[in-house]
Amino acid sequence: MSILRFDNVSKRYASGRTALSDVSFEVRAGEMLFITGHSGAGKSTLLKLIHLSERPSSGVVLYADRNLAKVRGPRVALHRREVGVVFQDHRLLTDRTVADNVALPLVLRGERRGETGKRVRSVLDRVGLGDRANALPGQLSAGEQQRVGIARAIVAEPRLLVADEPTGNLDPTLSAEIMGLFESLPGRGTSVMIASHDLSLVKRMKKRVLVLDHGRLADDISPEDLAA
């Protein structure tokens, strides 16, 4: 089953800059893949089209067979709650505790308090922050903050998680830890797409890799090809 499909998608910004040209690919449910390419190749733009912070200039993006062009108005917020997003700069609420930050997607969808508390505790344990639930983000290290961001993105068990340079400013040990977390998600029913320009990391992971070059899909490398 396909969770995501790009059909001949192009994106030209109002400035006249073309960020994506005629990009087509499909992501299966439970798949984990990387998007790589030089700075300015179009990686962030591609992810933005998935969580609807940008719209394509032409072509079609299908999420779970839903044409995203038809998702407008209040349905945009609903769509965003179905897709988990991890940013490099965390985007945590600095005046709320770790637990409150992680609970946010559940609170927004009206989950019961008891259930919310249970899920938040369980996901914080999974990311190794069970004992930091009452800390404020400013009291955590960069790697810990990144793990809070990931916990928030996965607490509602999204069918798709998109992450933009999620290990950008972390040391190799922490990067490996975070990648281990991402690797555990497909087994739990979440597909994972990670944009990264870190080629050595991408090669090490031995997953499918989409290579962007000046907005074009230059290569779609299978894990078997990487192992060869």
Ligand X SMILES: Nc1ncnc2c1ncn2[C@@H]1O[C@H](COP(=O)(O)OP(=O)(O)OP(=O)(O)O)[C@@H](O)[C@H]1O
Report d(CA 95, CA 80) in Å as an integer: 23
Of the pair 15, 173, the CB lying nearest ligand X is at 15
CA dist 150 and 170 (Å) reads 14
Strands 2-12 and 58-63: antiparallel
Q: Which is nearer to ligand X, 16 or 73 (CB)?
A: 16
CB of 149 to ligand X, least distance (A): 17
Closest contact distance (angstroms) between CB of 225 and ligand X is 22
Residue 37 or 56: the one with the smaller Cβ distance to ligand X is 37
Binding site for ligand X (CB under 6 A): 13, 15, 17, 19, 37, 39-45, 197
- Number of Cβ within 10 Å of residue 27's Cβ equals 21
C-alpha 3/C-alpha 6 separation (Å) is: 11
User: Going along 137-200, which residue ranges are E strands?
Assistant: 160-164, 191-195
Minimum separation from the CB atom of position 87 to ligand X (A): 11
Coil vs helix vs strand at 66: strand
Shortest CB 196 distance to ligand X, Å: 9
Question: Looking at beta carbons only, is 126 or 197 nearer to ligand X?
Answer: 197
